[in-house]
Amino acid sequence: MIATTYKARLQKKELVAENTMAFYLEKPVDFFFKPGQYLDVSLIDPAETDEDGNIRSFSIASGPADKYLVVVTRMRDTAFKRVMEATPLNTEIALEGPFGYFTLHYNPMKPAVFLAAGLGITPFLSMLRHAVVQKRFQQLYLFYENRHPEDAAFLSELLEMKALNPNFRFIPTMTGVEHSKQPWSEETGTVDGHMLSKHLTRLRGPIYYVAGPPAMVAQKRKMLVAAGIDFDDVTTEEFVGYLDV
């Protein structure tokens, strides 16, 4: 799949978690991608800029059949994000892509286990939305780690998917729930071998996908290998620029 440059208009902005916004861009008619891929977003003649420039890479959170291309970001105090947040609807934004090989394996008989922290959820959200459209019978497991529910983007949608798809197991967990204003009765603590064993029939056999900040990705890969998972059965995607979940 060859990356191409496009222009698309901003259609919608939505707060999807604490300090976290989703941006909905019109999808060019000839833009095709695989769930799990990413694109580059460029601001055209921004009102301000800084040393990091006007281009950022974002995983595509929407599915290929969705009307819009959706990208999600934590709203840090940077020139790029200030401009993105202030951009009026219908403004043109430049896109380039798709890029990346963080995509679901082809064998539907082999389960997939997703380990996401923070905005590492976005490529998995694309895969899961696509699975709903395709009515895939493949067993999919998502372990989703955040500090507390307020941080967990798309938590309600994922809980709805869990109720609708008997082949999808969703295991959200919070590492700092004591600081949350919302009640929480699901898992707590970081995803480790014990938590995986509790929810998976067997650890060896599935293909594992890990997405999140670099330190988290390295730690989860080390944990999986220590648990007996073959190194080649672990695929990762690092979200550089995010130090934690």
Q: How far apart are the first and last CA of the chain?
A: 31
98: preceding bond cis by omega (within 30 degrees): yes
Q: What share of the chain is helix, strand, coil (3-state, %, to 5)?
A: 25, 30, 40
> What is residue 1's predicted lDDT score, i.e. its pLDDT?
56
3-state secondary structure of 187: strand
Reading the chain (245 residues) residue by residue, the pLDDT tens digits are 567 899 999 999 999 999 999 999 999 999 999 999 999 999 999 999 988 889 999 999 999 999 999 999 999 899 999 999 999 999 999 999 999 999 999 898 999 999 999 999 999 999 999 998 888 789 999 999 999 999 999 999 999 999 888 899 999 999 998 888 899 999 999 999 999 999 999 999 999 999 999 999 999 999 999 999 999 999 999 987 654 44
Note the pLDDT of residue 40.
97
pTM recorded for the entire structure: 0.94
- Would you call 69 helix, strand, or coil by DSSP? strand
Query: Sheet containing 234-238: which strands, arranged edge to edge?
Result: 187-188, 168-174, 140-146, 112-117, 207-212, 234-238
User: Does residue 57 belong to any structural domain of this protein?
Assistant: yes
Are 171 and 223 in a shared domain?
yes
CA distances from 97 to 3, 46, 156 (A): 4, 21, 29
For the chain, how many structural domains are there in total?
A: 2
Domain identity same for 90 and 45: yes
DSSP 75-102: --S-HHHHHHHHPPTT-EEEEEEEE---
Question: Amino acid identity of 17?
Answer: A
Last residue of a domain, one of 49, 69, 99: 99
Output the pLDDT for position 241: 60
228 and 159 in a common domain: yes
Rg of the Cα trace of the chain? 18
Is residue 105, in this structure, part of any structural domain at all? no
The Cα–Cα gap between 185 and 201 comes to 22
- In terms of domains, do 126 and 15 share one? no
Contact (Cβ atoms closer than 8 angstroms) between residue 74 and residue 16: no
pLDDT on residue 179:
86
> Which of 99, 131, 150 is a domain's end point?
99
123 domain residue, yes or no: yes
Q: What's the pLDDT score for residue 197? A: 96
Verify that 45 and 81 share a domain, yes or no.
yes
Q: Of 50, 69, 99, which residue sits at a domain end?
A: 99
93 and 165 share one domain = no
Q: Strand 55-59 and strand 187-188: pairing?
A: unpaired
- Report if residue 243 sits inside a domain: no
Task: Examine the domain organization and report whether 82 and 138 are in the same domain.
Answer: no
Domain carrying residue 42? 4-99
Q: In this structure, are 140 and 62 located in the same domain? A: no
**Parallel/antiparallel/unpaired status of strands 140-146 and 168-174:** parallel
